[in-house]
Structure 1
Amino acid sequence: MSLLTVSEAAERLVVSSRQVQNLVASGKLRQVARGMLDETSVERHMAVRGGSHKRAWSEATAWGAVALLSGGGAEWMGESQRSRLKGRLRELNAAGLAERTRERADVTRYAAHSSTGDRLLGELVYATNVADRLGLAATNSVDGYLAAGDVTAVVSRHGLIRDDEGRITVRATSTNLVIVRDLMQRSVVLAALDLAESLDVRERRAGLDALDSALEAFRG
């Protein structure tokens, strides 16, 4: 594990040390010792935020964006909200979309026993055949959505250990998982957003390309 001091993280993120401490407090960055941060958590934060300091959309708006780009109706939003969001989506590129929708879930990565993955998949909402659909090689990583209120129990039941380089990614959301599952099945947009946060260059590129295609079709 590579470490960064608070000041080094602040310099890399182009923010103040106080802002870094706020990111630690909110769980966006991982502090592993007093004044020392896990470098991988900083890199992941940079991958999502890019060079932008714009505020992310609320969780409801982020999921609304996923729904609209996936051909859904985002029924939980009012008519005027949907209209404004459609206008915003027509102005965004893929990187901007990934940055603005990052609050759709709280993302935590874990390490676990090699046999845990298959059992865990039974409790997560995840994309199937995403590698084939986006032209990527299959991996043994596990990546899926879980109701925020169930995370503690699932982590305990499967013996998951927090590790920013772990192969298991849990995305905790307060959005109804029925909605998440429907959007995951409708299109590759949600899976592409997840890939756009990856530190793997090929995965990130595949995610961004798929998002650009979805935005272009939406502007249509």
Structure 2
Amino acid sequence: MSLLAISEAADRLGVSTRQVQHLVARGELRQVARGVLDETSVERLAAVRGGSHKRAWSEATAWGAVAILSGADAEWMGESQRSRLKGRLRAMSAAVLVERARERADVTRYAAHSSTGQYLEAELVYAADVAGRLGLAQANNIDGYLAVGDVLGLVSRHGLIRDDEGRVTLRATAMDLDVVRDLSQRSVVLGALDLAESLDVRERRAGIDALDRVLEAFRG
């Protein structure tokens, strides 16, 4: 594990040390000891934010954007909210969408035994074969959504160990998982957003390119 002092993280993110502490409190950065952060968590946030410091959307709005771009109704939002969001999406780049939609779930990564994958997949909602549909080789990683209240039980049952470089990514959300499952199957939008948050250059590029195509079609 590589470590960074809070002051170093602030320099890398282009924010103040107070803002870094706020990001730690919100769970967007991982503090491993007093005044010391996991460098990987800083790199991931820097990749998602792309140098911008705009406030992320609320969870409900982020899922609304996924729904609208996937051709769903986003029924949890009011009509005027949906209309305003559609206008923003028409003027938005993929990179900005990734940054603004990052609060759709609380993302935590873990190390796991090699035999755990098949059991974890049965308990998670994930975007099936999006990587393959976007021309990427199938990775030996587990990446899926689950309800916020189910995280601790799943981690305990499967002996997961917190590790920001681990192969298991859990995305905890308060959104109805039936909605998440529907959106994951409707289009590549949700899976592309997940890929666009990766530190792997090819995965991130594939996710951004797919979202650019979706946004272009939405504007058209």
Task: Report what 2:5 is aligned to.
Answer: 5
Q: Residues 133-171 of structure 1, C-alpha deviation per residue, up to 9 Å, x if partnerless?
A: 010011110000000011011111111110000000000
The 5-angstrom pairing of residues 24-63 of structure 1 reads 24-63=24-63
Task: Report what 2:191 is aligned to.
Answer: 191
Write the letter of the residue equivalent to 1:97.
L
Task: Report what 1:158 is aligned to.
Answer: 158
Alignment root-mean-square deviation, CA: 0.7
TM-score for the superposition, normalised by structure 1? 0.99
The 5-angstrom pairing of residues 15-26 of structure 1 reads 15-26=15-26
Measure, in 1, the Cα distance between the counterparts of 2:3 and 2:77.
42
Measure, in 1, the Cα distance between the counterparts of 2:75 and 2:25.
33
Measure, in 2, the Cα distance between the counterparts of 1:35 and 1:131.
37
Q: Residues 90-146 of structure 1, C-alpha deviation per residue, up to 9 Å, x if partnerless?
A: 010000000010110000000011111110001000011222101001111000000
5+ residue gaps in structure 1?
none
Task: Report what 1:182 is aligned to.
Answer: 182
Measure, in 2, the Cα distance between the counterparts of 1:7 and 1:141.
32
Measure, in 2, the Cα distance between the counterparts of 1:131 and 1:211.
13
Measure, in 1, the Cα distance between the counterparts of 2:151 and 2:139.
23
Task: Report what 1:70 is aligned to.
Answer: 70
Task: Report what 1:100 is aligned to.
Answer: 100
Measure, in 1, the Cα distance between the counterparts of 2:114 and 2:214.
35
List, as ranges, runs of 4+ consecutive aligned residues in structure 1 with deviation greater than 3 Å. none
Measure, in 2, the Cα distance between the counterparts of 1:79 and 1:101.
20
Which stretch has the larger CA shift, 50-59 or 166-175? 50-59
Write the letter of the residue equivalent to 2:111.
A
Measure, in 2, the Cα distance between the counterparts of 1:204 and 1:136.
11
Aligned length: 220
5+ residue gaps in structure 2?
none
Measure, in 1, the Cα distance between the counterparts of 2:45 and 2:156.
26
Where 1:210 maps in the other structure, the secondary structure is helix
| 1:88 corresponds to 2:88 | yes
Where 2:202 maps in the other structure, the secondary structure is helix
Measure, in 1, the Cα distance between the counterparts of 2:14 and 2:96.
18
Measure, in 2, the Cα distance between the counterparts of 1:120 and 1:138.
17
Where 1:66 maps in the other structure, the secondary structure is helix
Where 2:71 maps in the other structure, the secondary structure is coil
Where 2:108 maps in the other structure, the secondary structure is strand
Write the letter of the residue equivalent to 1:168.
V
Measure, in 1, the Cα distance between the counterparts of 2:129 and 2:13.
34
Write the letter of the residue equivalent to 1:109.
R
Task: Report what 1:116 is aligned to.
Answer: 116
Compute the displacement of 1:85 (Å).
0.4
Task: Report what 1:141 is aligned to.
Answer: 141
TM-score for the superposition, normalised by structure 2? 0.99
Compute the displacement of 1:48 (Å).
1.0
